[in-house]
Amino acid sequence: AQSVTQLDSQVPVFEEAPVELRCNYSSSVSVYLFWYVQYPNQGLQLLLKYLSGSTLVKGINGFEAEFNKSQTSFHLRKPSVHISDTAEYFCAVRKDSSYKLIFGSGTRLLVRP
């Protein structure tokens, strides 16, 4: 079965520091990869997605992610975080031709001043 692993449940970081949130997936077939962000008391909002083509994907709010097929990873990065980036981040994967999004358990990014 398909699965998504977000190893870090919480990542504390100081403002203006770089951050990487890790995501690994298990699948032997073509997949589509997504990162969603959830701010407190809100629904999930798409940050970025990888469908095909360039392995480096840029999203909103200065975030980017790199698809690494050999390592089955899709880590999310930002070179300099803001207090407002404090939120829960979810990695998700969907197999080609499937409607199901499989979500990871989420990583809480805590940005400190």
Partner 1 sequence: DAGVIQSPRHEVTEMGQEVTLRCKPISGHNSLFWYRQTMMRGLELLIYFNNNVPIDDSGMPEDRFSAKMPNASFSTLKIQPSEPRDSAVYFCASSPEASKGAIQYFGAGTRLSVL
Residues near partner 1 (CB under 8 A) are 32, 34, 36, 41-46, 49, 51, 90, 94, 96-101, 103-106
The smaller minimum CB distance to partner 1, of residues 63 and 104, is found at 104
As measured in angstroms, the least distance from the Cβ of 94 to partner 1 is 8
The smaller minimum CB distance to partner 1, of residues 26 and 45, is found at 45
As measured in angstroms, the least distance from the Cβ of 71 to partner 1 is 21
Residue 24, number of CB atoms within 10 A of its CB = 18
d(CA 26, CA 49): 17
Residue with tokens 């398909």: 2
Q: Where is 94: in which H helix or E strand?
A: strand 87-95
The smaller minimum CB distance to partner 1, of residues 52 and 113, is found at 52
Residue with tokens 């940005």: 111
Query: What single letter denotes the amino acid at residue 87?
Result: A
